[in-house]
C-alpha cells in the first residue's frame, strides 16, 4: 500500500516558501517585521507595523489561484472541500 500524505503533516507556519521569503527579506535589509499577527485582518504572514505593510504568502491550492496547482480539485470528500476552498477565496477578497 502506497503512503499518502495526511493533513496533520501540512504545516501552517514556517513553511518552506515562508522561510525562503524571510531569508530574502533579511538579505535585502528588510528587518523588523512581525509574524502571523492575529490582531490584523487576515492574519498576515509578515507584517511591518510601523510601515503599515502586510505580506500574505498564499498557497495556490488553498486559495484557488489560476495556475496548475490552484486548479487542482480534490478527488474525495467534495462536500467538505468545495465549501472550504470557496470560504478561503471569499475571506481573501474581504481581507485584501
Which has the closest alpha carbon to 35: 17, 56, 5, 62? 56
pLDDT digits (tens, 9 = 90+) for 72-89: 888 888 898 889 989 988
- Supply the pTM of this predicted model: 0.70
Q: What is the DSSP string of 7-53?
A: GGGS-SSS-HHHHHHHHHHHHTT----EE--TTSTT--SEEETTTTE
Phi, psi of 35 (to 5 degrees): -105, 140
pLDDT digits (tens, 9 = 90+) for 37-56: 999 988 889 999 999 999 98
Phi, psi of 87 (to 5 degrees): -65, -40
Amino acid at each position: 500500500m502506497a503512503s499518502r500524505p495526511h493533513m496533520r503533516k501540512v504545516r501552517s507556519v514556517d513553511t518552506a516558501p515562508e522561510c525562503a521569503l524571510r531569508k530574502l527579506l533579511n538579505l535585502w535589509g528588510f528587518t523588523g517585521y512581525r509574524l502571523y499577527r492575529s490582531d490584523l485582518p487576515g492574519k498576515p504572514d509578515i507584517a511591518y507595523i510601523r510601515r503599515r505593510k502586510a505580506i500574505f504568502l498564499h498557497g495556490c491550492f488553498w486559495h484557488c489561484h489560476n495556475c496548475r496547482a490552484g486548479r487542482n480539485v480534490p478527488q474525495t470528500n467534495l462536500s467538505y472541500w468545495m465549501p472550504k476552498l470557496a470560504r478561503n477565496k471569499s475571506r481573501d477578497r474581504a481581507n485584501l
